[in-house]
Structure 1
Amino acid sequence: MADDGADQGAYTIAELTAETWPAFDDLVLRHNGIFGGCWCIWFHPDSEERGQGAEANRALKRRYVEAGAAHAALVMDGDEAVAWAEYGTPAELPTLHHLKQYDAEKTGDPDYRITCVFVDRRHRRRGVTELAIRGALDHIAARGGGVVESYPHDLTEQTKKMSSSFLYNGTRRLYERLGFTYVRPKGLKNCVMSIEVPARP
């Protein structure tokens, strides 16, 4: 879902909360639960419900949201959510792809992670991915800021275009444009990138 620049236009940013859950819920339902019913639960801690089907994932995600343990910046088009960028602490989002490699090579944990970005198929190629990530960074700043990591797809050496539906966390070029620094590779086509976000009152 890498976009070529962001134009806020009529879009606004909202926090994923119990109040905005219906808008998030509708977005996921419009896309058949996302990636076979994931409901953006994959990066959360393992549990009995996680991975037990779309409805179990949906119920688990809602409980996390209502408990304040799941966070995302929602891009809103009016009352409709059209994208999100999931973020949280390593304790809230402990599961990563290539975790064994990541743990072996890390020098410490970040304060926050951005782990998943999703855009409604009707709003792709409009800069919405960038808006969602900027929204997440703004929310993190309001929570005290700190070191933020993300794990985008590194397509710098790839000539074949990848479908935006597979880019679950944007691309290295997008994060570079947002001020992130490349840290190291992770797996074959992903990488670790980092930025220091100052606290905002």
Structure 2
Amino acid sequence: MEWETHPVTPDRFDDFAAVINPNGRETHCWCLSHRLQPKQITELGDGSREQAMRSLCQRDDPPGVVTYHDGVPVGWCSVGPRADIPRLVGSKLIRPVDEVAVWSIICVVVRSGHRRQGVTGHLIEGAVARAAERGAPAVEAYPVDPEGRMDTTMAFVGTRAMFERAGFTTVGTTDAVASRMPRIVMRRDLG
């Protein structure tokens, strides 16, 4: 079995779409809510969320990575410089821990039918590797820390255990709450 993770460049966009929007819903989020305001979506995508994301994937630093298992796209991770994610930059709830120019993981999606098969570990490792290739000093994530079973409506942010397995450590807390659960700041230093 072979695992590969690659940036979501234009030639990999359909693979990304197969993971996050397999039913082709026009109003799907396309993982844009943290990156673009509605006006920017209109400007970049002529009103189409899909086209706006396609535009982002043409940039030097595409907005994330897609993981493949034996050539099949099975996971997506939104990762990029925190400074390029407007909702984090302006957040009063998830403030920077320090002055380190971190990259941030803000969304993790495992394709239906491929869950509980180790995809997340490969996906996070691929996202960290991409950040390291691009010179990131560290990667942060903002998971929830559930008591008991996690509310799956918020599963896209991940859990503490998921990131601990990938070598992240807790470096702070946030004022953000997801489904009545506190969110924390976890980091993996790359230096």
TM-score bucket (shorter structure): 0.7 to 0.9
After superposition, where does 1:1-201 map in structure 2 within 5 Å?
A: 9-31=1-23, 33=25, 37-50=28-41, 56-96=48-88, 99-103=91-95, 106-155=97-146, 158-159=147-148, 161-186=149-174, 187-188=176-177, 189-198=182-191
Residues 1:20 and 1:38: Cα distance change in structure 2 (over 3 Å): same
Report deviation, 1:21: 1.0
Identity, in percent, stands at 25
List structure 1 segments (4+ residues) > 6 angstroms apart after TM superposition.
none
Report deviation, 1:78: 4.0
RMSD value, Cα? 2.8
Q: Determine which structure has greater relative contact order: mean sequence separation of CA pairs < 8 Å that are 6+ residues apart, divided by chain length.
A: 1
Q: What residue ranges of structure 1 are gaps of 5+ in the alignment?
A: 1-8
Q: What residue ranges of structure 2 are gaps of 5+ in the alignment?
A: none
Residues 1:118 and 1:59: Cα distance change in structure 2 (over 3 Å): same
Conserved in 2, the CA contact under 8 Å of 1:73 and 1:133?
no
Report deviation, 1:164: 3.9
Report deviation, 1:31: 5.0
* Alpha-carbon separation, structure 2, partners of 1:67 and 1:41: 15
Conserved in 1, the CA contact under 8 Å of 2:66 and 2:123?
yes
Conserved in 1, the CA contact under 8 Å of 2:8 and 2:57?
yes
Name the amino acid aligned to 1:195.
R
Conserved in 2, the CA contact under 8 Å of 1:42 and 1:50?
no
* Alpha-carbon separation, structure 1, partners of 2:21 and 2:165: 31
Q: Secondary structure at the match of 1:125?
A: coil
Normalising by the residue count of structure 1, what TM-score does the alignment of the two structures yield? 0.79
* Alpha-carbon separation, structure 1, partners of 2:35 and 2:142: 15
* Alpha-carbon separation, structure 1, partners of 2:93 and 2:7: 32
Name the amino acid aligned to 2:4.
T
Residues 1:45 and 1:90: Cα distance change in structure 2 (over 3 Å): farther
Q: Secondary structure at the match of 1:100?
A: coil
* Alpha-carbon separation, structure 2, partners of 1:120 and 1:43: 21
